């Protein structure tokens, strides 16, 4: 009887070990997902702060200055006052539109569901098509569920930032985004036919958020490069080993 009990206990040990290993795996996975969600939330807050500063607060500061000028000119130049008030009204309207756009750009939760990369990017582009006159092309031959979640997540937020930058700054009429596999790598390309910029002035990757985009891709072992020139549009290329 004693020997039988001993045998049963020894046979149950591997099962206990497997259960413990699985429990540890799921705990670690949950911690990683929480860490990724926290990082995404922090970065999204920073992005909103930048957008409010660049696209709304600067306009409102201009309105304030114009209002001060109007106060000083109130009794001396009525025509000037009328022109300034018209400009103030237009700038306030523009600020309202910009704030609404910023709110629209943050309508989605910052946590990306695994396997939803293509669907989420397509949804983003559909919204931009409805809001702008852009000709937006999207080609994807990557199966998102085959990508590690961290790569899928960082790729989504990087490409989303690139599309937002092109829509806001490039003054382009065409934007093309493609995702594919090249052997053991995932490659992405984002190009526009906009005004472009001087690459020598953008060294260090600080131009239009390129620094944060590069850092995201670097975190997952990839590389982001860009090509641009004044009047020649911009192309961003990403390569991530899998």
Separation of alpha carbons 62 and 240, rounded Å: 43
Q: What does the pLDDT look like over 48-100, one tens digit per residue?
A: 777 777 667 767 777 877 787 777 777 677 788 888 888 888 888 888 877 87
Separation of alpha carbons 63 and 5, rounded Å: 85
DSSP state of 112: P
- Angle 80-83-87 from CA coordinates, rounded to 5°: 135
pTM for this prediction: 0.59
Interior/surface letters 199-214, b for 16+ CB within 10 angstroms, e for the rest = eeebeeeebbbbebbb
Separation of alpha carbons 49 and 43, rounded Å: 10
Cβ count near 135 (within 10 Å): 12
Two structure tokens written together for 197: 């910029």
> Candidates 3.30.565.10, 3.20.20.140, 3.90.1150.10, 3.40.109.10; correct CATH number of 134-241?
3.30.565.10
pLDDT (average), residues 144-158: 88
């Amino acid at each position: 009887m004693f020997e039988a009990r001993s045998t049963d206990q020894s046979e149950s040990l591997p099962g206990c070990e497997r259960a413990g290993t699985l429990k540890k795996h799921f705990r670690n996975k949950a911690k990683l997902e929480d860490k990724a969600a926290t990082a995404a939330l922090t970065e999204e807050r920073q992005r909103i702060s930048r957008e409010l500063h660049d696209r709304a607060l600067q306009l409102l500061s201009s309105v304030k200055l114009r209002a001060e000028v109007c106060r000083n000119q109130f009794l001396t130049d009525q025509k000037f006052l009328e022109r300034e008030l018209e400009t103030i009204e237009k700038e306030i309207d523009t600020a309202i539109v910009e704030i609404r756009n910023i709110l629209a750009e943050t309508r989605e939760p910052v946590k990306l569901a695994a396997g939803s990369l293509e669907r989420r990017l397509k949804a983003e582009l559909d919204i931009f098509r409805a809001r702008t006159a852009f000709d937006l092309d999207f080609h994807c031959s990557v199966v998102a569920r085959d990508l590690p979640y961290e790569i899928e997540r960082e790729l989504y937020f990087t490409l989303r930032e690139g599309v937002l930058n092109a829509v806001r700054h490039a003054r382009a009429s065409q934007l093309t985004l493609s995702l594919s596999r090249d052997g053991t790598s995932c490659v992405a390309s984002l190009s526009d036919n906009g005004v472009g910029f001087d690459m020598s002035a953008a060294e260090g990757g600080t131009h239009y958020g390129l620094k944060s985009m590069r850092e995201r891709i670097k975190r997952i072992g990839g590389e982001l490069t860009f090509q641009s020139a004044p009047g020649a549009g911009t192309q961003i290329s990403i390569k991530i080993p899998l």
